[in-house]
Amino acid sequence: MNTRTYLDNAATTPLDPEVFAAMLPYFQRKHGNASSLHEEGRQARKAVEDARRLIAEALSWDPEGIVFTSGATEADNLAIFGLARSRPDRRHIICSAIEHHAILHPCDWLEQQGYRITRIPVDTTGRVNPQSIADAIDDQTLLVSIMAGNNELGILEPIREIGELCRARSVLFHTDAVQAFGRVDLPTESTDLISLSAHKLHGPKGVGALAARPGMRLVPLVHGGGHERGVRSGTENVHGIVGFASACRLMVERRETLVERLSGFRKQLIDGVLRIPGTRLNGDRSGSLPHIANFSFAAIEGESLVMKLDERGIAASTGSACSSPNLEPSHVLQAIGVPIEMAHGSLRLSMGQQTTQADIDTLLRTLPGVVEDLRSISPFKLGDS
Amino acid sequence: MYNEQVMEHFREPRNHGKLARYSAVGKVGNILCGDVMWMYILVERAENGEDIIADISWETFGCTAAIATSSMVSVLAKGKTVDEAITITNSQVAAELGGLPAPKMHCSSLAADALNEAIHEYFIAEKRPIPATLEQRHERIARHRKELEDRYAGFLDQGDRKQQIKGLPGSPCC
Ligand SMILES: Cc1ncc(COP(=O)(O)O)c(C=O)c1O
């Protein structure tokens, strides 16, 4: 029996057994290279193209525009650099201050090369005001990139409105939908590029896609044999792509019941955690992804909180400085103006399809004591700040 | 990431809390930076006239390494003479714990610094001449604190949104 309580599904999700079963034949029996002419190759090609169609269907997208990648980091990079290289005349990019690093760091790099980057601030819940994007667009603007749902807070961005205003201004709009896909409706008709990742959907790690408008010119980041219509060379990750498509199909099929269940859990988490004194919800109760909730605890530090929970069998994560490789507190918590001492004491809880009522109960039973323990050795007492 | 010794001190921290009676307290770290340690010492005169750290405790806001190093410093210093305790170094704390992950070495310096500051305060309260090494270290700690405060000054200015978005400067905080 698995006695662990895994509440870090925004980091990655366990592979669905059905997805695993769908992938299995492609490791050995159907091992062909999708570029080969023979039977084995044709079989692999068919699997890849079937997967492409399936994912396109889930997005109401033209399969021609789906480019398989090694994940969403590559998809985000391809959107930014691929477009920047194909339209070198436009040297201005707009993104939000709370994008994933897979967007922010490519933008930082371009900024060093002389690009103008506008990082749109967010309000205290993490929402972008579409008007501030409208105000930032000028005739140099290459791309607007705003994530659909934030991976730390769970907050949903008004991407329909943003996509429509970009369209009205003839500016391309990209959204990182890694956390939102399969959990909320995406306004794909008003979006030009979408990044997806399989491992956040109970699919395998190391595979994702960039959905681009067919015909859109993207200069490849990876040159070689001309795979993926020349946009992304490299022998297709057939088993990964098959797993990705299978995961997408299951997410779409199960979405309604899953979202209802997880939304109920999220509400319980918020109500239960906020009963602990000196606690705040980062983000918002409503207008959020159903599977992510983020909290801060006064007088304690998040890394030790995560480690204490881990000791009690609970996996969660934090945006605290001490947990990040660069030793900075999360840019997202900073951007929503979490008081700095509270930003150090953050905890992200995120659920998946395997999450049960027992997991929620375990967390809510364990957390108050753990917080109490850490507060008992902290120099700060509640009410200090 | 952490070895079993570190985890053991994290799980069962020694000498935590605030002493009911203490001679001096050393306060280091900065909440902006994510680590704060307060080290309390009770110094008593032994029969041979030596000053002994008869009791020690700490309160720490920080990561696993910060908590484990606080615990280890208290173990190392307890029962030692003050002169011996002054010689406890960062690297000794880390070594006694069987090593710390590289980005967390900073925490071991914080713990040794907290002890240093407590002893420094004790010397001042007792109006005793302060040994050169203790004073040098005290000055270094004070300089570091000043640097941190200057560096984060912009961040504290909540009116400047841009400053927040750009993020804190990369620093080996904890
Ligand atoms: C919003 C968001 N974008 C991008 C990524 C990166 O995805 P991948 O792990 O597939 O590179 C993640 C997850 O880490 C994410 O949450």
Taking a C-beta distance cutoff of 8 angstroms, is the pair A117, A126 a contact? no
- For ligand 1, say whether the CB of A279 is within 6 Å of any of its atoms: no
Q: Binning pLDDT at 50, 70 and 90, where does residue A384 land?
A: low
Q: What span, in angstroms and rounded, lies between the C-alpha atoms of B117 and A151?
A: 41
Which residue carries 């713990």 as its tokens? B111
Task: Answer yes or no: do A304 and B173 touch at CB < 8 A.
Answer: no
pLDDT (tens digit, 9 = 90+) per residue, A246-289?
Answer: 999 999 999 999 999 999 999 999 999 999 999 999 999 999 99
Q: How many residues does chain A have?
A: 385
d(CA A361, ligand 1 centre) in Å: 28
Count of the separate structural domains present in chain B: 1
- For ligand 1, say whether the CB of A178 is within 6 Å of any of its atoms: yes
Residue A320 has pLDDT above 90, yes or no: no
Q: What span, in angstroms and rounded, lies between the C-alpha atoms of A45 and A49?
A: 6
Average pLDDT on A340-359 reads 94
Residue B130 lies in a domain: yes
d(CA A203, ligand 1 centre) in Å: 13
| CA torsion angle A186 A192 A198 A202 (round to 10) | 0
User: Domain with B75 in it: what CATH number?
Assistant: 3.90.1010.10
A368: left (phi over 0), alpha (psi -120 to 50) or beta: alpha
C-alpha pair distances (Å), B114 with each of A231, A342, B16, B29: 56, 23, 14, 9
DSSP state of B104: G
First to last CA, chain A: 43
Q: Binning pLDDT at 50, 70 and 90, where does residue B160 land?
A: very low
Taking a C-beta distance cutoff of 8 angstroms, is the pair A304, B67 a contact? yes
Q: What is the DSSP string of A136-174?
A: H--TTEEEEE--SB-TTT-BBP-HHHHHHHHHHTT-EEE
Mutate to test the pocket of ligand 1, among A78, A150, A151 (most ligand atoms within 8 A of CB): A151
Q: What span, in angstroms and rounded, lies between the C-alpha atoms of A52 and A171?
A: 26
Taking a C-beta distance cutoff of 8 angstroms, is the pair A190, A221 a contact? no
Q: Is A95 a catalytic residue?
A: no
- For ligand 1, say whether the CB of A70 is within 6 Å of any of its atoms: no
C-alpha pair distances (Å), B46 with each of B20, B24, B52, B55, B86: 20, 18, 7, 13, 17
pLDDT (tens digit, 9 = 90+) per residue, A195-241?
Answer: 999 999 999 999 999 999 999 999 999 999 999 999 999 999 999 99
Taking a C-beta distance cutoff of 8 angstroms, is the pair A125, A284 a contact? yes
Give percent above pLDDT 90 in chain B: 70
pLDDT (tens digit, 9 = 90+) per residue, B102-111?
Answer: 888 877 789 9
Residue A319 has pLDDT above 80, yes or no: yes
Q: Which atom of ligand 1 is nearest to the CA of A207?
A: 10
Q: What is the DSSP string of A271-287?
A: HHHHTSSSEEEES-SSS
Average pLDDT on A304-326 reads 87
Mean model confidence pLDDT for chain A: 96
Q: What span, in angstroms and rounded, lies between the C-alpha atoms of A361 and A222?
A: 47
Q: How many residues does chain B have?
A: 174
Task: Answer yes or no: do B158 and A337 touch at CB < 8 A.
Answer: yes
Sign of CA dihedral A241, A245, A246, A251: positive
DSSP state of A98: T
Task: Answer yes or no: do B60 and A379 touch at CB < 8 A.
Answer: yes
Burial of B10 (0-12, 13-18, 19+ CB in 10 A): buried
Query: Of A311, A321, A348, which Cα lies nearest the Cα of B36?
Result: A321
Best mutation target among B2, B59, B61, B100 (most A Cβ atoms within 10 Å) is: B61
Q: Binning pLDDT at 50, 70 and 90, where does residue A323 land?
A: low
Q: In this predicted structure, what is the pLDDT of residue A227?
A: 96
Residue B171 lies in a domain: no
Residue B153 lies in a domain: yes
Q: Tokens in use for B53?
A: 């750290």
Q: What are phi and psi of A111, to 5 degrees?
A: -60, -40
Q: Binning pLDDT at 50, 70 and 90, where does residue A2 land?
A: low
Q: Tokens in use for A362?
A: 């375990």
**Around A218, how many Cα atoms within 13 Å sit in the side-chain half-sphere?**
32
pTM of the model: 0.93
- For ligand 1, say whether the CB of A204 is within 6 Å of any of its atoms: no
Query: Of B22, B113, B115, B104, which Cα lies nearest the Cα of B68?
Result: B104
Residue B174 has pLDDT above 50, yes or no: no
**Around A197, how many Cα atoms within 13 Å sit in the side-chain half-sphere?**
25
Residue A106 has pLDDT above 90, yes or no: yes
Which overall architecture, per CATH, does domain A17-250 show? Answer: 3-Layer(aba) Sandwich (3.40)
**Domain residue limits, chain A:** 5-12+255-376, 17-250
**Residues of the domain holding B139:** 4-165
DSSP-assigned beta bridge partners for residue B42: B55
Taking a C-beta distance cutoff of 8 angstroms, is the pair A72, A196 a contact? yes
List the CATH code of the domain at A5-12+255-376: 3.90.1150.10
d(CA A99, ligand 1 centre) in Å: 10
Residue B121 lies in a domain: yes
Q: In this predicted structure, what is the pLDDT of residue B163?
A: 34
Q: What span, in angstroms and rounded, lies between the C-alpha atoms of A368 and A353?
A: 25
Residue A339 has pLDDT above 90, yes or no: no
